[in-house]
Amino acid sequence: MDSILVKGGAELNGVIPIAGAKNACLTLMPATLLSEAPLTLTNAPRLSDIATMTVLLQSLGVEVTQLQDGQVLALSSHDLTGHRADYDIVRKMRASILVLGPLLARTGQAVVSLPGGCAIGARPVDLHLRGLEALGATLDLRDGYVHAEARNGLQGGHVDFPIVSVGATENVLMAATLAKGTTVIENAAREPEIVDLGRCLRRMGARIEGEGTPTITVEGVDALTGATHPVVTDRIELGTYMLAPAICGGEVECLGGTIALVSAFCDKLDEAGIGVEETPRGLKVSRRNGRPRAVDVATAPFPGFPTDLQAQMMALLCTADGTSVLEETIFENRFMHAPELMRMGAKIDVHGGRATVTGVERLKGAPVMATDLRASVSLILAGLAAEGETLVNRVYHLDRGYERVEEKLRAVGAHVERVPGR
């Protein structure tokens, strides 16, 4: 199993291109199941999660062709050969549940294993199922699988989510495009990935209004067409690389970024004394005089501070001047990186969903263990700010969400290399 070796102390300067959004692409790929016509996705990220979704779609009969070194995905669901998503594939990635709505809408039936993914707490699929039931689906959970039927097709309905769920919003939105009549989704997620999905589905002929707001209205159509769609910039990769010069010093321009994608995050960087400037090509980030200032952070659904940037922000605050409080409101088990940061000399006190971080002047390199995707990169960022060497073990999570991270960081002056597993 590979590790990442980081030698701290280097100031970072240069440009980092930001890839297409993993979470957007993993939603857009299953959208091909809604139509017999081809769907082409450009600006696709080259990640192991994309490869996993590719295998899952191919198991259903979807033709997937990678072009331009994997940055273009050509998908065709003209001849589906099945409607069962097996455990052996689905267990690797939570986003696999997103084939449920499209399969059900297109074929009237779907059998999908309950999903896996990072171990960051319980993430039940009950909201997905509740939403599909509101569209007339008959559901049965047995032997670890969701058995769904809509033999006469889905019907438009009213879906009011009790809490905001990105995945459930995406599943119901896709299914509603082929439902008979009007579907109204209340308390819908507002993330840029939802907006991107809405744009793609409209290109395919769907009739959708309100994506990006708490209420989405969908008028079902008889069939969708093909389309070509560019995947939106990955706001989590963007925020991650914005933190690199914030932690190390220097100035880095993140190509393809916009403040609109990470506005709440930018507000916290400003409070911490980190400069963020929008440029014609992206966002330029620089650390102002001295150590960053301590700030308090609470995660929230978009447009709030992203839970997927909480671990990386903690790495910055470990060396901030003062004491910061981070509140995790989305997932109940997402401070597993804290003990590893403490191995590097960080002062962190965790109680439930709250972590108190007292900044130190300098972290010290140490061998650490990655526990999930975002924790992996947070430890790399911490290593950039530490004295000596940091060895981040178990980085297979990293390849699920970050495209060529060593290359991108080395290009701006970081001392980072991958150490092959033995």
Q: Looking at residue 410, which CATH number applies to its domain?
A: 3.65.10.10
Query: What's the pLDDT at 107?
Result: 97
124 labeled part of a ligand binding site: yes
H helices present in 10-145, as ranges: 22-28, 48-59, 87-90, 100-107, 126-134
Q: Which of 230, 249, 277 is the last residue of a domain?
A: 230
Rounded to an integer, the average pLDDT of 9-34 is 97
Nearest partner of 49 among 365, 406, 403, judged by Cα: 403
Contact residues for 86 (Cβ-Cβ < 8 A; gap 6+): 59, 113
Res 334: pLDDT: 80
Q: What is residue 125's predicted lDDT score, i.e. its pLDDT?
A: 87
**Whole-number Å distance between alpha carbons of 131 and 104:** 13
Question: Confidence band (pLDDT; 50, 70, 90) for 61?
Answer: very high
Residue among 78, 46, 53 at smallest CA distance from 63? 78
**Tally of CB atoms within 10 A around 122:** 7
pLDDT in the model for residue 121: 39
90 and 116 together in one domain: yes
pLDDT of residue 118: 38
Same domain for 220 and 295, yes or no, is no
Using an 8 Å Cβ cutoff, are 362 and 338 in contact? Answer: no
330 is in an annotated binding site: yes
Query: For the chain, what is the domain count?
Result: 2
pLDDT for residue 115: 80
Last residue of a domain, one of 230, 261, 287: 230
Instruction: Specify whether 64 is located in the same domain as 208.
Output: yes
SS3 letters across 259-303: HHHCHHHHHHHHHCCEEEEECCCEEEEEECCCCCECCCEEECCCC
pLDDT at 116: 54
Segment 387-396 shows an average pLDDT of 94
**pLDDT at residue 120 above 90?**
no
- pLDDT (0 to 100) of residue 351: 94
Assess whether 133 and 269 both reside in one domain.
Answer: no
Q: Phi, psi at residue 277, to the nearest 5°?
A: -130, 130
Contact 320, 272 (CB under 8 A): yes
Q: What is the pLDDT of residue 422?
A: 56
Task: Cis check for the bond before 303: say yes or no (omega within 30 of 0).
Answer: yes
Average pLDDT for 392-409: 90
Q: What residue has token string 């331009």?
A: 68
C-alpha 176/C-alpha 170 separation (Å) is 10
pLDDT, tens digit (0-9, with 9 covering 90-100), for 314-327: 999 999 999 999 99
Which of residues 230, 250, 267 is at a domain's end?
A: 230
Average pLDDT in the 380-387 region? 96
What is the rounded CA–CA span in Å between residue 251 and residue 242?
A: 9
pLDDT at 418: 94
Same domain, 196 and 280: no
- In tens, the pLDDT along 333-366 reads 789 999 999 999 999 999 999 999 999 999 999 9
| pLDDT at 411 > cutoff 60 | yes
One domain, residues 14 and 32: no
The tens digit of pLDDT for each residue in 89-106 reads 998 888 899 999 999 999
Please check if 281 is assigned to a binding site. no
Work out the average pLDDT over 208-223.
98
Q: Would you say residue 373 has pLDDT above 60?
A: yes
Closest CA to 394 of 372, 370, 374: 370
Closest by CA to 38, choosing from 85, 78, 92, is: 78
| pLDDT of 122 over the 70 cut | no
Distance of CA 77 to the CA centre of its chain: 25
Mean pLDDT of 5-17: 96
The reply, when asked if residue 367 is annotated as ligand binding, is no
**Longest Cα pair distance anywhere in the chain, in angstroms?**
65
Tell me, yes or no, whether 291 and 391 share the same domain: yes
Q: At what angle do helices 166-176 and 192-203 cross, to 10 degrees?
A: 10
170 and 310 within one domain:
no
Is residue 94 annotated as involved in ligand binding? yes
**Per-residue pLDDT band at 119 (split at 50, 70, 90):** very low
Supply 120's token pair.
């960051």
Kindly state the percentage of the chain with pLDDT values over 90: 87
Active site residues: 118
Sequence-distant (6+) residues with CB within 8 A of 143 are none
pTM (predicted TM-score): 0.92
Same domain, 46 and 169: yes
269/210 same-domain check = no
Residues 88 and 143 in one domain: yes
Query: What is the pLDDT of the chain when averaged over all its residues?
Result: 94
Q: Is 268 annotated as a binding residue?
A: no
For residue 271, give the nearest of 330, 324, 329, 335 by alpha carbon.
324
Contact 111, 182 (CB under 8 A): no
Say which amino acid occupies 14.
G
Q: Is 23 annotated as a binding residue?
A: yes
Q: How confident is the model at residue 331 (pLDDT cuts 50, 70, 90)?
A: confident
Integer-rounded Cα Rg, in Å, for the chain is 21
List the domain range (segments joined by +) for residue 264: 3-19+233-419
236's enclosing H/E stretch is helix 235-248
Q: Span 134-155, mean pLDDT?
A: 94
DSSP class of residue 320 equals: S
What average pLDDT score do residues 177-184 get?
98
Do residues 217 and 246 both lie within one domain? Answer: no
Judge whether 126 is annotated as a binding position: yes
Reference 251, options 275, 279, 282; nearest CA is: 275
The pLDDT value recorded for residue 72 is 98
Q: What is the predicted pLDDT for the residue at 82? A: 93
